[in-house]
Amino acid sequence: MPVDFELTKEQEDIKATVREFAERYIAPKAVEFDEKQEIHPEIIREMARLGLFGVVFPDKYGGLGLDPVTAGLILEEIVRADLTFSLAVAYLVQTSWGYIAYKYGSEEFRDEVITKAARGDLWIGIATTEPGAGSDLVGITTTARKVGSEYVVSGEKAYISGVREARERGKWFEYGGGHVTLTYTDKSKQHRGMTFFFIPLTDPNISIRLEKEFGRKGWSFGSFVLNDVKVPEKYRIGDEGRGFYIAMEGFDHARAYIALACAVGGKRAIELAVEYAKQRKAFDSPIASFQGIQFQLADNWARLEAAHSLAYKALWALKMEQEGKIGRFEVTKIAAAAKLFAVQAAKAAIDDALRWFGAYGYTEENLVALALKAVKSYDWAEGSLDIMRLIVAREVLGRDFVSGRRR
């Protein structure tokens, strides 16, 4: 199997441009994202100007037409500059679920919505989770009824990222945004009766409520209630009954990017802690000279390096799938394994790295402390670690061994 980690000239140039931007504009403000509980709108606008909200959309709709591996290289630079992971969420959700909305959306939808998203004038989020159903998507209760050329949608979505940014026009995104929202169009068919819609959160008939987040506070997280909200047919994403399958595909994209964000975030936390450990002295020696710290460093670095490679394998698998070279389930397995491994590697590394800072690690101005809170979100967001384990086991063992299945 040929393996090549070399970047193309185009990839090198993109990475260098984004790194320069991220170091100059993002890094100096990152601590403030959590402190102010929002991302400075001018940073979002500058990212939009660089095309960073449209990286995977085709040129025809105003995007950069990049593949998932190159989109990952951009994510690396964003995470390195913002260890609160707030901008990572803004970027990776648009890059994964925006792509899914483009792929399955109608031509009218693409012309109207994807072109705005590609310019960074509109943000696309994902809403599958409800107060009563997260891991078990079949348990959702939101429904969509067809009435003439519209659908009437009712239900509640909970713990959804970006509800505030999508609700407000003009502050972060000119047109606000909306969420690719999972509903039932025929509950009797269970997962075969689910359908996705793009639902703009700017609709005044939708009410939103914000949660107080534990970490990653720059990007909002909350619920929205749909009370007989009318959604035009052109906003349906994919055919009726295909929602569950499209959701599974979208999760693969998001999980691969999350795996990369965690691997890179973990490495960056270690780098910051290493700088500190080289100059901080205890017992007349830099703490970096103590083997207790060196062994932690080595174990974590080895795990993060492995997580980094596996994340790129997942992004490469998405690219191969787009080129028709590998199948869906292979991608699902690698993406789930990548998220499972990277989240745990990052949590362990960031926790150890934070300890090297001593008491200074227990302050909210320490980026590594903010990273520890943020990375915890990936125990659940885009599928819990237990669900990742179930997926990997199912793909390795075969579907006859799915736990709890009636035989």
Ligand X SMILES: Cc1cc2nc3c(=O)[nH]c(=O)nc-3n(C[C@H](O)[C@H](O)[C@H](O)COP(=O)(O)OP(=O)(O)OC[C@H]3O[C@@H](n4cnc5c(N)ncnc54)[C@H](O)[C@@H]3O)c2cc1C
> Which residues contact ligand X by CB under 6 A?
125-129, 134-135, 159-161, 221, 377, 380-381, 383-384, 386-387, 390
Cβ atoms 193, 239 nearer than 8 A: no
Give the H or E element holding residue 251. helix 243-279
* Complex with ligand X: residue 18 or 369, whichever CB lies closer: 369
Contacts of 264 (CB under 8 A, 6+ apart): 75, 76, 79, 80, 308
CB of 89 to ligand X, least distance (A): 8
- Kindly list the distances between the CA atom of residue 183 and the CA atoms of 180, 378, 380, in Å, as whole numbers in the listed order: 10, 24, 21
* Complex with ligand X: residue 106 or 384, whichever CB lies closer: 384
The Cα 111–Cα 87 span in angstroms is: 26
CB of 79 to ligand X, least distance (A): 16
The Cα 300–Cα 306 span in angstroms is: 10
CB of 364 to ligand X, least distance (A): 18
* Complex with ligand X: residue 14 or 254, whichever CB lies closer: 254
Cβ atoms 63, 71 nearer than 8 A: no
- Residue 205: Cβ-neighbour burial (10 angstroms; 0-12, 13-18, 19+): exposed
SS3 state of residue 168: coil
CB of 123 to ligand X, least distance (A): 11
* Complex with ligand X: residue 354 or 381, whichever CB lies closer: 381
* Complex with ligand X: residue 126 or 310, whichever CB lies closer: 126
CA-CA-CA-CA dihedral for 32, 37, 40, 46, to nearest 10: 100
The Cα 394–Cα 396 span in angstroms is: 6
Where are the alpha helices (H) located in 122-218, listed in sequence order?
Answer: 163-167
CB of 377 to ligand X, least distance (A): 4
The Cα 56–Cα 40 span in angstroms is: 24
* Complex with ligand X: residue 56 or 127, whichever CB lies closer: 127
CB of 307 to ligand X, least distance (A): 20
| Residue nearest ligand X, CB atom distance | 134
CB of 33 to ligand X, least distance (A): 14
37: alpha, beta or left? (left if phi > 0; alpha if psi -120 to 50): left
* Complex with ligand X: residue 83 or 270, whichever CB lies closer: 83
The Cα 308–Cα 341 span in angstroms is: 10
Closest CA to 39 of 158, 168, 160: 168
- Kindly list the distances between the CA atom of residue 115 and the CA atoms of 109, 112, 176, in Å, as whole numbers in the listed order: 9, 6, 14
CB of 313 to ligand X, least distance (A): 23
* Complex with ligand X: residue 28 or 139, whichever CB lies closer: 139
* Complex with ligand X: residue 300 or 377, whichever CB lies closer: 377
CB of 139 to ligand X, least distance (A): 9
Cβ atoms 235, 198 nearer than 8 A: yes
